[in-house]
Amino acid sequence: MRPAATALKYDGITAAGLDAYEERIAIYNRDGGRCRTCGEPVAFDAFELAHRIANTKANRKRWGPAIIDHPLNRVVAHPGRCNSAQNIGGSPGACAELIKQIQEDL
């Protein structure tokens, strides 16, 4: 018997995988299908979720998964430069403001 977190829903998709896909849809819809860096439309099958506070071991240890994995920390971006441009790690003020917003949302 499989644990609940990996129980198969249908067609081989796990509950965790389905939740992640639904969250991608929600963030894409929240951002209106537009790249948050350049403002241009981005196709659903071509966008990336850019972490504003980078998803690194150090940041996970410092801020925790609740901050790093929060939808407000992730935005729609084109792959490559647009994704990289979303990183606000070099701006302590911007990081503090985003963390405050996330903590209010939790």
Q: Given this model, what pLDDT does residue 37 score?
A: 97
pLDDT at 35 over 70: yes
Distance between CA 97 and CA 66 in Å, rounded? 16
Q: What is the per-residue pLDDT across 45-95, written as a single tens digit (0 to 9) for each? A: 999 999 999 999 999 999 999 999 999 999 999 999 999 999 998 899 999
